[in-house]
Amino acid sequence: MRIESIAIPLIRHVARRPRLAAAFFRLDSWGNPLLPERLSDPMLQAHLIRADPPVVWKPLYQQWFVTGYDEAREALGSTSAGVANQVDVLLDVRPFTKMSDQARRFVRNLMLLTDPPQHTRLRGLVNRAFTPRRVSSVDERMVEIIDELIAELPDREFDLMTSFAQPFPARVIGELFGIPEPDIEWLRDVSTSLVKITDIMVGFDPDEVSDAVADFSARILELAAERLREPRADLITGLAQAEDDDGDRLSDDELVAVAGIILIAGHETTSIMLALSLLALYEHPDQLTLIRQRPELWPNAVEELLRFDTALRSDPRCAIEDFELAGNPIKKGQNILILNNMANRDLRRWPDADTLRLDRQEPMGLSFGHGVHYCLGANLARAELLAALPRLLDVLGDYRVDTDAIQWRPSTVLRSIDRFPVTGG
């Protein structure tokens, strides 16, 4: 039995009992990583984390933690640290063990959980379909979607998540996939269920996820069959037709998993970043004034907003061989967790890393990862943020955010938000 099969359920059990958690996590210098307060303030324990080296072994978790920018970049780009091992960790732990066989195959075929040569093969086939030209084909429609959603916003207070942040990327992904407008709400619901498999420390209903995988798989394969008969200029057509020089193509399970990871990454993280960006600007009125006075800064501003408060908080790896990371001997089989949010706030790289500066020189962080697993949809996410944020600020005017009423979704992986109340000015 893997140690994770015992450790992960134990930590979950402890986290649900505040008094027990207080005693248990006192064994580690970083304290309780699952404090509810950390949902609203992910940097709450930054001073404790920064007191340790940028690569540190934590006996309580039996894994390495990487918090420095250079070290995180090195780990993410290392061929000695893989992700495929994480599949076995996931599938050996409840509630993953209770999922259907189809749902377990879905997890095993997710491209972000594969290593070369399988990852190289999958990425090569996907790149034939998910081209810059195909992504840019939705640019005009993206602007129309923004205007349509903005026209429907209430005059005063509303929930940004349900009114804009969630439907906008879902409709963009729907356009990219070629999914009819009436099915967009279904797509959002599926995404909300599928994203739950990304967080091993927070449990989920295995039946709900299994049903979502079955539903999503049936719809995507139905669309793929239709597109092979009658091709269109959409991504499902591209994925269904993708073929390398040797005639290799995506299997049905692989096609569904690729579509699933594009949906999860393209919908969930973009919706989160829309809210986090508006929150950061609200809490830094000088920067809000700056971007309104200097709109030419928007491309740089998007990078700084991504760095300052990233949606993807952590990225796991496992050593597939003995290697050295920043002078630390990593043994084969040891788990490594890269804390992206801490790497993006590395004071050695940016002495004022905890300050939002939209005109910052070289703000590029690690929000989209690095190396072979660099986010496939990074350019789409940037385009969505760049298109939506300026328009939202124009419409909202001197907006207010009820920060006490924000509902943060428990997660150790994503900085997720369920409700984000905004009042236009």
Q: Which residues contact 214 (CB under 8 A, 6 or more apart)?
A: 100, 102, 103
Q: Which CATH number is 279's domain given?
A: 1.10.630.10
Range 84-94 average pLDDT: 80
Cβ(339)–Cβ(66) under 8 Å? Answer: yes
Cβ count near 145 (within 10 Å)? 23
In sequence order, the β-bridge partners of residue 81 are 319
Per-residue pLDDT, 398: 93
Report the range of poorest mean pLDDT among 79-83, 243-247, 333-337.
Answer: 243-247
Question: Is residue 1 predicted with pLDDT exceeding 70?
Answer: no
Range 338-355 average pLDDT: 97
**DSSP, res 312:** B
Distance CA 408, CA 39 (A): 6
Secondary structure (H, E, C), 260-286: HHHHHHHHHHHHHHHHHHHHHHHHCHH
Q: Model confidence over 128-187: pLDDT tens digits?
A: 888 888 888 888 899 999 999 999 998 788 999 999 999 999 999 999 999 888 888 898
Domain that holds residue 384: 3-423
- pLDDT-based confidence at residue 388 (cuts at 50, 70, 90): very high
Cβ count near 230 (within 10 Å)? 7
First-to-final CA distance of the chain: 57
Cβ(300)–Cβ(363) under 8 Å? Answer: yes
Q: Which residues contact 286 (CB under 8 A, 6 or more apart)?
A: none
Q: Which three-class secondary structure state does DSSP give residue 337?
A: strand
Dihedral sign of CA atoms 68, 71, 77, 80 in order: negative
pTM for this prediction: 0.92
Question: Is residue 199 predicted with pLDDT exceeding 60?
Answer: yes
Question: Is residue 89 predicted with pLDDT exceeding 80?
Answer: no
Percent of the chain with pLDDT strictly greater than 70 = 96
Most confident of 40-49, 199-208, 347-356, 401-410: 347-356
285 class by beta-carbon count within 10 Å (0-12 exposed, 13-18 middle, 19+ buried): exposed
- What is the β-pairing status of strands 417-419 and 407-408? antiparallel
Order of all β-strands in the sheet with 400-401: 157-159, 421-423, 400-401
Cβ count near 10 (within 10 Å)? 11
Question: Is residue 18 predicted with pLDDT exceeding 80?
Answer: no
- pLDDT-based confidence at residue 409 (cuts at 50, 70, 90): confident
Cβ(331)–Cβ(322) under 8 Å? Answer: yes
Q: Which helix (H) or strand (E) holds 58?
A: strand 55-58
Range 190-217 average pLDDT: 87
Per-residue pLDDT, 7: 64
Q: Which two tokens stand for residue 58?
A: 């934590």
Most confident of 12-21, 173-182, 184-193, 358-367: 358-367
Total domains in the fold of the chain: 1
Range 253-267 average pLDDT: 89
Which amino acid makes up residue 109?
N
Distance CA 250, CA 241 (A): 9
Distances (CA, A) of 337 to 174, 253, 316, 413: 33, 28, 4, 11
